[in-house]
Homo-oligomer: A and B are copies of this chain.
Amino acid sequence: MEELKNILKMHNISPSLHRLKILEYIHRPYTHSTADEIFQALEKDIPTLSKTTVYNTLKTFEKNGIISALSIFENETRYEFKKQEHAHFKCEKCGEIFDIAHPFDFLKETELEGHFIKNQLIYLKGICRNCLQKTENA
């Protein structure tokens, strides 16, 4: 909890209760949560929480570089605690999202067909290892 407080402070965000709780939720490993998911998870503990606060807070966190927004998944923005660059894999069967160690050469800050590339986003789809195994055993 102190660690989370420090993360906020280091990014010039005052550590209010709601912000801490939202950060705590999104700081767990492998979260790729929507605003709504976060809201639903936290409203049990904080019955007064408003969804607008969740949206506001996520926007603040993103602007200050604490979290990343993924627009990759149709219709809904998902958020994750910022960490080393990685690709995303989504299983077509179970819908689960996996982080994947970067399978490509690093392109950032290079040039391609005359364009200067600042950022790369890689999204993979298929059948995850769990679902593959279930099929095998069937």
Interface residues of A (CB under 8 A from B): 71-75, 77, 89, 91-92, 98, 100-101, 103-105, 107, 112-129, 132
Q: Which residue of B has the minimal Cβ distance to A123? A: B121
From B77, B105, B120, A123 is in contact (CB under 8 Å) with B120
Q: Which residue of B has the minimal Cβ distance to A104? A: B104
Within 8 Å CB of A101, what residues of B?
Answer: 113
From B115, B120, B126, A98 is in contact (CB under 8 Å) with B115
> A137: shortest Cβ distance to chain B, in Å?
15
From B117, B120, B124, A107 is in contact (CB under 8 Å) with B124
From B72, B77, B124, A117 is in contact (CB under 8 Å) with B124
